[in-house]
Structure 1
Amino acid sequence: MRYQTDFAPQHLNDAPRVVQLGSWTLHYQAFSRQAEDNREPVLMLGGAFQSFRSFGVEVQELLPHHPVILLDLPSQGGNLQLAPELSLEQLADLIAAFAEELRLPPLMPIGLSYGSALAALFAARHPQRCARLLLAGITAFGRPGARRMLEEGLDLLAEGQVLRFAQGALTGLINPLRLDETGISPVFRKALLRQMQRLSPQEVERYLQNSRRLLDFPGFTRHPTCPTLVLAGEYDHFTQPWEHAGFAAACTDADCALIHNGDHLAQFEQREACASFYRPFLQGTALPLASPGATRLARNRLDRLERRQEPRVAPLNRRGRLLHAEAGEWSVDVSELGFFGGLVQGALPADLPSRGWRLQAGDLPALDVLALRHHGDSLALVFPHTDAAASEALAAQVVRAEPHAVAYA
């Protein structure tokens, strides 16, 4: 490996280097302070809507201490090669093949969101090639509510409803109830929404393939054994803190840090809080028990972290109607209502369709809902948030309400 030594953020716009592994094309860029560098490199693996340009600050932060490699596997980032036949495990194996082809020393992957599943699988399947592992925004663990939301996004894209898909995906990535805490600006939210609304047909196909890989993934049969650090955003609803902690608990040598006032994009929202843990971790020095904006979770509590995150309240007017264009209409009692989901009671048929429902609750506009769990006369719902106006009205009511009960979707 020969590294580029004159890093500047604009270089992330340059044409990448290319490695051909059989029929698969991999794109990468590699930077260091010295052209020949035998130290263990940091390997950046980004999420669904990230490219090399997303990591300019991180590369600058890491370069004084580490070589840095940015890698786009087929269908990732700026790599336009489609790979519908490849599973998550096979993509993780391509990382190992990349390291072998370039004769790299053991890697230190940083996996973010979708990239976290690839990084973790690489570490678990190729332990001799992984020195340290850093994960944030853990995916692929199958929480029912998250799976329903991901499935709904795929259905909307297949139907050509890109605007509704984008609105729902934005709410998954950026918790709109916690904007004051996370500091996400309206300008950033609008830019991300526009990016998702303007996906090209090829970008839509890539997203469909990547999401199907997550849904098809059966779960980890073994976990990483190398030193591992997991960063969890305090308000991340898409990949929740207890899921991060549970993964850390299953690893041989892992720590989990809670990033306060962060959600699914915590590494961008609370950069310094995240860096206060990943700096010493990547250098192999002791982690702090706490730092401004972050807390290290006790190892003996990782598998017992509270799973109840979102407050749910019984609205003042509990009468509601569950509407479906084909199945019909039912009166229901809205026993719990939160921003991300709720619980209704009613004499509902056993064979409810999974999609196409709307909930009319009190004076709120009709809310799109997805059926999650149906037991007896109780039906748990999740809100896909594909209608911006309805979501804003629900958020306003939830924020005003005084919670007296908590539930989880």
Structure 2
Amino acid sequence: MRYRTDYSAALLASPPAVIDIAGWRLHYQAYSTRQRDSRPPVLMLGGAFQSFRSFAAEVDELLAEHPVILLDLPSQGGNLQLAPELGLEQLADLIAAFAEQLQLPPLMPIGLSYGSALAALFAARHPQRCARLLLAGITAFGRPGARRMLEEGLALLDEGRNGEFAQGALSGLLNPLQLQETGVSPVFRKALLRQIQRLSPIEVERYRQNSRRLLAFDGFSQHPPCPTLVLAGEHDHFTQPWEHAHFAAACAQADCVLIHHADHLAQFERREACAALYRPFLGGRALPARSPGSTRLQAEHLLKLEKRCEPRLAPRQRQAQLQHAEGWQWTVELSELGFFGGLLQGDLPGDLPMRGWRLQCADLPSQPVLPLRCDDQGLAFVFPHTDAEASQALAARIHPAPLPTAACA
């Protein structure tokens, strides 16, 4: 590997190097302080809607101690090659083939969101090629609510309802109830919403393929054996803290750390709190016993985290109407209501359709809902938050103080 030594943030927008492996094109950029560098390189693997430019601050900081490689696999980042036949495991194997072809020493992947699944699978399937592993936003996507949200997003895209898709995706990435805690500005939120709304047809198709890979993934049959650091935003409701902790508990040498005042984008929302952990970790040094902005979970607590990310309370007005697009309607009683979902009871048929439902409760606007399960406890459901005005009204009702309009805009 020959590294570039002239790094600047502007170079991240320049054309990448391309390597062909069995017909698959992998895009990459590689930087170091020396052209030939035998040190283990940090490998950046981003999530949906991220490009090399997303990691300008990380590259600038990491280069002081490590070579850095940014990699876009097919259908990821700026790589527009479609790969519907490749599953997550095959993409992870492409990372190993990339390392072999370029004769790289063991890698230190940093995987974020979608990239975390690829990084973790690479480390588990090719342990000899992975020295250390850092993950944020990790999940096996086995949680029913997360799967239903992904499925609904795909269905909306298939119907050309891109605005509703974008609104739901944004509420997954940025917790609307915690914007004051996370410090996400209205400007950033609106910019991200516009980016998702304006996805090109090929970008939409890439999102479809990546989401289908996640939905088809059966979970980890083996976990990374290398030293692993898992970072979880304490307010992340898309890939929840308890899921991070369970993953860490299954690894041979893993620490799990809660990043305070952060949600799914912890690495970007709380850069210094995250950097204070990944700097020593990637350098092979012990994590600090205490670190500002985070809490390191004790091993005995990893499987004991609360699995509900918000309290579900009995609403003051329990009677509601469950309505379907085909014209059906039932009077129901709400026993639990939160911003992300709830539980209701009613004389409902056993074979409920999975889509097309809205819930009308009290003086709130009609809310889109997705059924999760119907049993003797009632009908559990999640709100997809595809209707911005309805979400804003619900947030103002659930949250102790009304949110600014930008929270759900």
2:97 aligns to what? 97
1:221 aligns to what? 221
The answer on 1:251 being equivalent to 2:286 is no
**1:140–1:215 contact (8 Å) kept in structure 2:** no
Q: Quote the Cα distance in structure 1 between the aligned partners of 2:289 and 2:330.
A: 52
Aligned-partner residue type, residue 248 of structure 1: A
Using the TM superposition, give the Cα deviation of residue 138 of structure 1 relative to its aligned residue in structure 2, in angstroms.
0.7
Identify the range of structure 1 (297-306 vs 331-340) with the bigger mean alpha-carbon deviation: 297-306
1:82 aligns to what? 82
1:240 aligns to what? 240
Write out per-residue CA displacement over residues 337-380 of structure 1, whole angstroms, 9 at most, x where no aligned residue.
10000111111111111110000011000000000010136101
SS at match of 1:111: strand
The answer on 1:47 being equivalent to 2:42 is no
2:187 aligns to what? 187
**1:327–1:353 contact (8 Å) kept in structure 2:** no
**2:26–2:71 contact (8 Å) kept in structure 1:** yes
2:57 aligns to what? 57
Q: Quote the Cα distance in structure 2 between the aligned partners of 1:271 and 1:244.
A: 19
Of all paired residues, the percent bearing the same amino acid is 73
SS at match of 1:39: coil
Q: Quote the Cα distance in structure 2 between the aligned partners of 1:86 and 1:35.
A: 33
Q: Quote the Cα distance in structure 1 between the aligned partners of 2:162 and 2:38.
A: 46
Q: Quote the Cα distance in structure 2 between the aligned partners of 1:399 and 1:305.
A: 23
Aligned-partner residue type, residue 171 of structure 2: T
What residue ranges of structure 2 are gaps of 5+ in the alignment?
Answer: 402-409
Using the TM superposition, give the Cα deviation of residue 327 of structure 1 relative to its aligned residue in structure 2, in angstroms.
6.0
Q: Quote the Cα distance in structure 2 between the aligned partners of 1:101 and 1:238.
A: 36
**2:123–2:130 contact (8 Å) kept in structure 1:** yes
Q: Quote the Cα distance in structure 1 between the aligned partners of 2:6 and 2:325.
A: 60
Report how many residues are paired: 401
Write out per-residue CA displacement over residues 384-403 of structure 1, whole angstroms, 9 at most, x where no aligned residue.
000000000000000139xx
Aligned-partner residue type, residue 80 of structure 1: L
TM-score w.r.t. structure 1 length? 0.97
Q: Quote the Cα distance in structure 1 between the aligned partners of 2:247 and 2:327.
A: 40
Using the TM superposition, give the Cα deviation of residue 307 of structure 1 relative to its aligned residue in structure 2, in angstroms.
1.3
SS at match of 1:263: coil
2:326 aligns to what? 326
SS at match of 2:302: helix
Using the TM superposition, give the Cα deviation of residue 139 of structure 1 relative to its aligned residue in structure 2, in angstroms.
3.0
Displacement over 2 Å in runs of 4+: none
2:274 aligns to what? 274
**Aligned-residue CA RMSD in angstroms?**
0.9
Q: Quote the Cα distance in structure 2 between the aligned partners of 1:377 and 1:7.
A: 58
2:404 aligns to what? none
1:359 aligns to what? 359
Identify the range of structure 1 (297-306 vs 164-173) with the bigger mean alpha-carbon deviation: 297-306
What residue ranges of structure 1 are gaps of 5+ in the alignment?
Answer: 402-409
**2:167–2:385 contact (8 Å) kept in structure 1:** yes
Q: Quote the Cα distance in structure 2 between the aligned partners of 1:135 and 1:142.
A: 18
**1:288–1:296 contact (8 Å) kept in structure 2:** no
**1:134–1:228 contact (8 Å) kept in structure 2:** yes
The answer on 1:375 being equivalent to 2:365 is no
